[in-house]
Structure 1
């Protein structure tokens, strides 16, 4: 998009040879035998067969038929803290694959030149930042998600809102444009939810809009604001549906459904550490859904299938590790344990982390990445991210289990910090989806906090431990800057702001703050203390 000269909308597509055939045959410029409900070509190719009820673009409502039967999914109702407060507000919410509306038709939510420019920006640039670059093409095909908004303007505006915000950070459009799309999406969502007779609040419409509004909150929010409102709404919907499904079959989950599950698990596990009132958020965590999702992926992995190799959002990091991150974060707010039930749960988390290390080869950190001179053979970012998540999780659970004995100056923490430094050095922060490693960067940043006041004042470090912490802090700043220039994610700013406060050694990080005024000895600080703060990281 040229910031100086807005791009004009392209010429309309050429008229297709058939006007009454299905969308797929029209797109492929093939003769359609127009059999209903599935034409012969779509049945042979095993793809969606879509017919238009009317030839009028503004009133067309496509009908989708599968060439093979799909098991029905039970309905449920969403609820959201900011948009809807009762379960009965929506009567038809269920997980299903979004309609694959033909791209030849004109989306109702795109009517101006600005809309077309943002839509092009969203589909060609922004959406690629939300899924790992190593994911298969089906997950990186934006039409699978955006198609749900072709007939519902406010859903399309929800998808355009975070893309417009990203473009505004890149100085391509005014920020007010992004806010306009957000207001339109929120207004449409409220109206659809409040009107129980409205068909606009279909399953994919609500979930797609909530997903993108959650992304908008993540990209827009300031360091102290909450960013899980819409993910909480999605989580409650998913949980109600999972209660009536005995088990998940990965083959039968749509691309949108799997992307949604990945995104919800990722955001809950990595954002919870910033929130103050986590009990409210945890009540909307889809625990049954996540458990069945992990179980289905494990079953595929044991049978030698490839579904679980690269996930759309989590990449190569096993979802089970993110579940442990979520549980450890909750446990960190329950301290002190006094060796009760919560202490047993924390030990179980450590056992599970150890088990993941033994069973998942991706967590092997013995190989040296920095010694690989050939960039083409360099370990992928997704693999490096998985190792970083594992190291950060181990640091976190160690601190939770032994708050007094484990600190940023501990020898075992320093050993893990050295491994993390090697990994972070070879991570390409300028690649798409770089914001994915913000959580391990936060944990490593806490571990790299100076342990004395004099350490922050020395321009040159005098001990190996000080040199390691200083190098890590410098590398983190470099990586966050690279990631920000690509993603413009508010989560990057949140991490940077939190680490800046931690590295300035506030009194809350002192091991014994009450002794600061009673002694002339230099205070010892522990950056990991902020991980077990009752108010969350970034809050006093």
Structure 2
């Protein structure tokens, strides 16, 4: 006979901090100052404020979509954090935003605002850059914008087995449909409200693409759209003033610069992407940062996405990636541009102590944060990349490359892959992985898990694998998987690399493969990743 377990009584609605506040504060479970006609919180967040006729009124509960009890528990146990907007544990509240209709919507919203948002900005940046209140406020008025913000958070939760991945895709599809409809029904984005709506949705849709595990040839689509809007805005501003730029605007500029520069190496066709690069906006942004640094008591500003890494390095990465795809010019113009990039990196090392490789960093050095280490890793990897472009005969066993690889090993060993925002060092990991690629058949068949103590390249491959695994456990970023997949292809199947002949090197050099050749592969590492996925 089948045992029938008694149903547990439904959980009572939570006690609210106020019983007479406005509808918004009731739904947020925040104390309301009850000012009329608009309370202080709604005034600050630019939200519509209204009051209930009776405090006992309540709406009928709506049917709930099935949601993992783990996610409900996850959303409820975040300790010691200020909730930007509370997640009600019951749907019996009379006030309900159109973008948050179900219990799962509220749970994902809470997960996004308290957990996921921390993964998107530098942990050492000021807290204002992790405040997504403005974006969520737009989402309260425009449901598809809210779904755009929920999509990458839901995808992250699905990778942790908290909700089905299909639910994250549904949020993304809803946001895309709303975005297309909005663009079709409006002639332009001239008004600040429409522009903000578009940018808020596009940046989260871009993040969804960035976090989606599968590689996509259109991974920069939404950032290209954001860049177009930023360029239109920059055309009407003679210069940028950092003190007057909004937090949202600065985060957008940081994010666009980061994604354009670091993701270009994965794209197979780069002409259209390079044509859409917001050069005017980025130039004014970097100039404004330099002016701000000269006039500030603290010149080492921690940027929202780039952290301590100077923006000029990302501009160089963009330029170097473009040069790596160009055929040799008859007049040596491309070579001259590469030499100029190297000179600018040299000057930056002299002017910016944060990228100075002469200061050693040990794993036990508590004074060095991840942002400090990331800045040096980006600088070091940029040097390796541009050195290969300048001299294509340079190889992974060349003394200058080995010296930089040794420094990179020490830096990467000191990096905490379990901390938030670890995915932002995927680009230097990719370059270091190419420099640590097997060079001979014996090196290729050797298992780097059992590498000899003195074998630097094998040790680096093992360290990279461990760090990518740690970063993945925290970020669940598709960028981590794309990086790991490309490197696995390079390490396990080095015959894919451009072939080299013994005549190019000294007679006593036993070289069969050169991982740095992958950096100047005409279709970029996106083709390597594609081969890894279908192979």
Structure 1-normalised TM-score?
0.80
Query: What is the deviation of 1:454?
Result: 1.1
Deviations 1:89-129, CA, capped at 9 Å, x for gaps? xxxxxxxxxxxx98797432001011011101111111111
Q: Are 1:304 and 2:300 an aligned pair?
A: no
Contact 2:363 2:415 in 1 (8 A): no
Q: CA RMSD in A?
A: 3.3
**Where does residue 168 of structure 1 map in the other structure?**
158
- How many angstroms apart in 2 are the aligned matches of 1:308 and 1:249? 17
Match of 1:205 among 176, 191, 197: 197
Q: Are 1:399 and 2:388 an aligned pair?
A: yes
Contact 2:149 2:201 in 1 (8 A): yes
After superposition, residues 236-247 of structure 1 pair within 5 angstroms as 236-247=228-239
Contact 2:25 2:31 in 1 (8 A): no
- How many angstroms apart in 2 are the aligned matches of 1:102 and 1:125? 13
Match of 2:176 among 186, 192, 208: 186
After superposition, residues 23-422 of structure 1 pair within 5 angstroms as 29-30=32-33, 32=35, 48=44, 50=46, 52=48, 106-196=96-186, 202-223=194-215, 225-306=217-298, 309-370=301-362, 372=364, 377-404=366-393, 406-422=394-410
Relative to structure 1, the CA distance from residue 183 to residue 51 in structure 2 (aligned partners, 3 Å threshold; closer, same or farther) is closer
After superposition, residues 395-474 of structure 1 pair within 5 angstroms as 395-404=384-393, 406-458=394-446, 464=454, 467-474=455-462
Query: What is the deviation of 1:481?
Result: 0.4
SS of residue in 2 equivalent to 1:252? coil
Deviations 1:286-308, CA, capped at 9 Å, x for gaps? 00000101111111101125486
Contact 1:510 1:524 in 2 (8 A): no
Query: What is the deviation of 1:50?
Result: 4.2
Relative to structure 1, the CA distance from residue 350 to residue 514 in structure 2 (aligned partners, 3 Å threshold; closer, same or farther) is closer
- How many angstroms apart in 1 are the aligned matches of 2:297 and 2:234? 23
- How many angstroms apart in 1 are the aligned matches of 2:136 and 2:482? 28
**Where does residue 95 of structure 1 map in the other structure?**
none
- How many angstroms apart in 2 are the aligned matches of 1:159 and 1:8? 28
Instruction: Kindly tell me the number of residue pairs found equivalent between the two proteins.
Output: 472
Contact 1:507 1:513 in 2 (8 A): no
Query: What is the deviation of 1:284?
Result: 1.1
Contact 2:206 2:220 in 1 (8 A): yes
- The more displaced of 142-151 and 333-342 is 333-342
- How many angstroms apart in 2 are the aligned matches of 1:525 and 1:343? 24
Query: What is the deviation of 1:150?
Result: 1.2
Relative to structure 1, the CA distance from residue 355 to residue 514 in structure 2 (aligned partners, 3 Å threshold; closer, same or farther) is closer
Contact 2:21 2:31 in 1 (8 A): no
Q: Are 1:491 and 2:487 an aligned pair?
A: no
Contact 2:436 2:460 in 1 (8 A): yes
Contact 1:22 1:51 in 2 (8 A): no
Contact 2:430 2:483 in 1 (8 A): yes
Q: Are 1:11 and 2:1 an aligned pair?
A: no
Query: What is the deviation of 1:458?
Result: 3.5
Relative to structure 1, the CA distance from residue 196 to residue 506 in structure 2 (aligned partners, 3 Å threshold; closer, same or farther) is same
Query: What is the deviation of 1:165?
Result: 0.7
Flag structure 1 segments of 5+ consecutive residues without an equivalent: 58-100, 516-520
Query: What is the deviation of 1:8?
Result: 7.8
Structure 2-normalised TM-score?
0.81
- The more displaced of 232-241 and 475-484 is 232-241
Deviations 1:288-340, CA, capped at 9 Å, x for gaps? 00010111111110112548611111111011110110011001111324452
Contact 1:425 1:475 in 2 (8 A): yes
Query: What is the deviation of 1:223?
Result: 3.5
Flag structure 2 segments of 5+ consecutive residues without an equivalent: 1-7, 54-83, 88-94, 504-508, 529-535
SS of residue in 1 equivalent to 2:130? coil
Query: What is the deviation of 1:432?
Result: 0.6
Relative to structure 1, the CA distance from residue 103 to residue 251 in structure 2 (aligned partners, 3 Å threshold; closer, same or farther) is farther
**Where does residue 70 of structure 1 map in the other structure?**
none
SS of residue in 2 equivalent to 1:369? coil
Query: What is the deviation of 1:200?
Result: 12
Relative to structure 1, the CA distance from residue 10 to residue 509 in structure 2 (aligned partners, 3 Å threshold; closer, same or farther) is farther
Relative to structure 1, the CA distance from residue 224 to residue 512 in structure 2 (aligned partners, 3 Å threshold; closer, same or farther) is farther
Deviations 1:114-161, CA, capped at 9 Å, x for gaps? 101110111111111111111111111232332221110000000000
- How many angstroms apart in 2 are the aligned matches of 1:510 and 1:319? 32
Relative to structure 1, the CA distance from residue 231 to residue 12 in structure 2 (aligned partners, 3 Å threshold; closer, same or farther) is farther
Deviations 1:265-293, CA, capped at 9 Å, x for gaps? 11000000000110011111100000101
- How many angstroms apart in 2 are the aligned matches of 1:223 and 1:473? 22
Contact 2:214 2:478 in 1 (8 A): yes
